[in-house]
Amino acid sequence: MPHTKRKFPHNRAAKAKRSKGMLKMQRRYPIGAELIGEGRTHFRVWAPKAKRLEVVIEGQWGKDRGAKSAPTFEELEREATGYFCGAIAADAGTLYRFRVDGAENYHPDPASRFQPEGPHGPSCVVDPTRFQWTDRAWKGIQMPGQITYEMHIGTFTREGTWMAAARELAELARIGITVIEMMPIADFPGEFGWGYDGVDLFAPTRLYGAPDDLRSFVNEAHSLGLGVILDVVYNHFGPDGNYLGVFSDDYLQRERANEWGDSINFDGNNSGRVREFFITNGKYWIEEFHFDGFRFDATQSIHDRSDEYIVGAIGRAARAAAGERSIILVAENESQEAKLIRPRSEGGDDLDGLWNDDFHHSAFVALTGRNEAYYSDYLGRPQEFVSAAKYGYLFQGQPYWWQEAERGMPTFGASPAAFVSFIENHDQVSNSAQGARMRFETSPGRYRAMTALLLLGPWTPLLFQGQEFGATTPFTFFADVGDENLREAIRKGRFEFLSQFPSLATANVQRQLPVPTDRKNFERCKLNFAERTGQRPFYVLHQDLIRLRREDSRFQKQIPRGVDGAVLGERSFVLRFFGERNDDRLLVVNFGPRQSFVPGPEPLLAPPFGCEWETIWSSDDARYGGPGSAKPVSDDGWFLPAEAAVALRPIPATKPRRKPKDRHVREE
């Protein structure tokens, strides 16, 4: 969407005022530094704690900071609402901070658009209109039909930059990925991290490049038909580099902490200004960087008793900012509150999708045989996958032993596309002793079969970076911090979290766990794209499945109530995808040994009248490293290959139905 140009009155008096830098313009956003003309910048910040507030000009970005001149000070005007504002002589690239009540220390802008020296350094005035967008024809994305790819910019390439990542987008588009889900990018201290401890929510981190590099990434993605959604963290601020408390005590609610620290004040005293801050942030990413939506992190820790839940309010503002362009809004919600995807008219929050941990947890147990810690309530049995295909979440209000409470809300009637399913993501890969990929936790056959279920199921599949070519690189938790006490707290906290798994709680395993603050562990997580060739069977497996999902007349459709399933054995099941005019599909999955399903009293296995089943894809194909495909159905019945998945479609019968033998005994 092209940027809205600033509108100025076209009369002589207004032109005269503009020439003198006196024009009273209408800001795009209520906070931050915005250019309002040649060499003029308007500043506005909410600082109700302050009696006096000054802009401290510290030079230009890119010039020799070692030979900087003495700072200059410009006092801002105080508004009755607790805001300070004013226009001063400052161009794009100007470095600045704020001084509160004449204090000795200066602080960055809470709504800084760029922190070239990190969160503890000065903020930088940015001109968003300098970048020349070429995506005017881009119409955005909608939830159905997407194949999502989670990406951490810092480890996706060796360089760890937006420009380097952009060079790989064409290959992702070629294999059929449709949406990039970018892990958080709000600036944070240190030289590496996951991004979930961001403190400058408007500032794309300087670690990956300049703001225009991010714009270039999104622009390139759109040119290739890829959408880009941003993972945003609105449940807490990071522990280091957050200076909001200098300006107001009302950003946080310290009496209502969550697992990462103080909760954000969305419904308490002065929460209206805090809500404005976050709603503005949502609009900003959509308008100035053309993102195609959001993944809201850990919404169960976003506490808000307001009439409109803040996540829904941000989403509504983001859709308005996108205009005619469609965006998608997805939430992570550990407690599985399905109201997030209900319409607002029904008491919901109007989001489009939810991450489905239930699917992952069942898949993990089925693949590994381990159901400890938060996997305790999952057995990995066929019925769980049948129910996931039909209803999304497995827990929709039933008792949940691990948390000793009920879990989830009903999802009946929700679109299958609303449930984002995965067997790998940043959290789950890292929640192993060494951040090992799932394929190293199970047998090759079972892994291929589960990959088929993921990529052909009715949900919206998500792949984690490198999964598509069987990456051998791990993904561990990493966070660079300078403070020794904080480093030790992070190490201890991470090890304590992993100790909930009895298999990881032993002293020997704990001694070998990767230290999050060790740079070597961050470097180990960087992908090696040479594995696209070296691990070719995995790459071909994913490409073929994605192509089948996108091109097949039935697998491509995510029809509500369009899938049924049945258990065939202790480790096997069938999903039937119903279509029009006998255009059904079967996906037969067996995670166990070879199985004979004879007799076969299961209607879902019956072909449409006048048809027979034809195999269109098998995970046993030798190209994927399998033993070679075998026909699962014959005149004698069904024979399910071991640790395999098979997709079938109906074709006109090639021979007439056999006549039954008369085995009845006639009475004289």
User: pLDDT band for position 25 (50/70/90)?
Assistant: low
**One domain for residues 462 and 584:** no
284 — phi, psi (to 5°)?
-60, -45
User: pLDDT band for position 581 (50/70/90)?
Assistant: confident
| Cα end-to-end span (Å), the chain | 86
d(CA 95, CA 58): 5
Alpha carbon of 321 to those of 25, 43, 215, 293, 326: distances in Å? 20, 22, 17, 11, 10
Bridge partner list, 575: 565, 587
Count of domains for the chain: 3
Which tokens in the block code for residue 585?
Answer: 């599909």
Q: What is the mean pLDDT of the segment spanning 540-564?
A: 96
- The CATH number covering residue 436 comes to 3.20.20.80
d(CA 636, CA 514): 54
- DSSP code at position 482: S
pLDDT of residue 21: 39
Which tokens in the block code for residue 470?
Answer: 């069987």
Last residue in a domain, options 543, 577, 601? 543
- What's the chain's Rg over C-alpha atoms? 28
Does 4 reside within a domain? no
Bridge partner list, 567: 573
Closest to 641 (Cα-Cα) out of 599, 600, 572, 595: 595
User: pLDDT band for position 65 (50/70/90)?
Assistant: low
Q: What is the mean pLDDT of the segment spanning 416-433?
A: 96
pLDDT of residue 38: 86
pLDDT of residue 482: 78
Does 556 reside within a domain? no
pLDDT of residue 321: 98
d(CA 65, CA 604): 71
pLDDT of residue 635: 85
d(CA 80, CA 184): 35
**One domain for residues 424 and 360:** yes
**One domain for residues 205 and 317:** yes
Q: What is the mean pLDDT of the segment spanning 113-124?
A: 98
- The CATH number covering residue 79 comes to 2.60.40.10
Q: 2-16, 456-470, 515-529, 600-614: lowest mean pLDDT where?
A: 2-16
Last residue in a domain, options 124, 157, 173? 124
Residues with Cβ within 8 Å of 315's Cβ and at least 6 positions away in sequence, in order, are 282, 294, 329, 349, 350, 351
**One domain for residues 411 and 491:** yes
* Residues comprising the chain, all counted: 668
**One domain for residues 530 and 454:** yes
**One domain for residues 276 and 389:** yes
* 142: pLDDT strictly greater than 80: yes
Q: What is the mean pLDDT of the segment spanning 315-342?
A: 97
pLDDT of residue 18: 37
User: pLDDT band for position 664 (50/70/90)?
Assistant: low
pLDDT of residue 275: 98
Closest to 226 (Cα-Cα) out of 184, 185, 176: 176
pLDDT digits 0-9 by tens, 215-234: 999 999 999 999 999 999 99
What would the DSSP string read from start to end of 191-238? S-B-STT-SEEEEE-GGG--HHHHHHHHHHHHHTT-EEEEEE--S---
* 617: pLDDT strictly greater than 90: yes
d(CA 326, CA 654): 46
pLDDT, averaged across the chain: 92
- DSSP code at position 141: -
pLDDT of residue 655: 85
pLDDT digits 0-9 by tens, 36-46: 988 999 999 99
**One domain for residues 502 and 633:** no
* 16: pLDDT strictly greater than 50: no
**One domain for residues 179 and 79:** no
Does 87 reside within a domain? yes
315 burial type by CB count under 10 A (0-12 exposed, 13-18 middle, 19+ buried):
buried
Does 3 reside within a domain? no
Residue 162 falls in which region: left (phi positive, over 0), alpha (psi -120 to 50) or beta: alpha
Cβ atoms within 10 A of the Cβ of 182, count?
26
pLDDT digits 0-9 by tens, 269-298: 999 999 999 999 999 999 999 999 999 999
d(CA 452, CA 169): 23
**One domain for residues 422 and 519:** yes
* 504: pLDDT strictly greater than 50: yes
Classify 320 as helix, strand or coil. Answer: helix
Cβ atoms within 10 A of the Cβ of 177, count?
23
User: pLDDT band for position 331 (50/70/90)?
Assistant: very high
* 392: pLDDT strictly greater than 50: yes
User: pLDDT band for position 64 (50/70/90)?
Assistant: low
d(CA 201, CA 221): 23
- The CATH number covering residue 592 comes to 2.60.40.1180
Does 185 reside within a domain? yes
Does 355 reside within a domain? yes
Classify 38 as helix, strand or coil. Answer: coil
* 666: pLDDT strictly greater than 70: no
**One domain for residues 300 and 355:** yes
d(CA 83, CA 31): 9
Does 502 reside within a domain? yes
Does 250 reside within a domain? no
Cβ atoms within 10 A of the Cβ of 7, count?
8
Mean pLDDT is highest, among 54-63, 281-290, 483-492, for 281-290
d(CA 413, CA 466): 34
**One domain for residues 118 and 44:** yes
Catalytic residue positions, numbered: 297, 332
User: pLDDT band for position 140 (50/70/90)?
Assistant: very high
Alpha carbon of 579 to those of 387, 561, 575: distances in Å? 19, 11, 13
pLDDT digits 0-9 by tens, 151-207: 999 999 999 999 999 999 999 999 999 999 999 999 999 999 999 999 999 999 999
Domain limits for position 458: 148-239+269-543
160 — phi, psi (to 5°)?
70, 40
User: pLDDT band for position 667 (50/70/90)?
Assistant: low
Secondary structure tally for the chain: helices H, strands E: 17, 30
CA angle 199, 110, 58 (to 5 degrees): 110
Share of the chain above pLDDT 90, in %: 84
* 525: pLDDT strictly greater than 90: yes
Alpha carbon of 146 to those of 282, 334, 400, 545, 550: distances in Å? 22, 22, 31, 14, 9
**One domain for residues 16 and 111:** yes
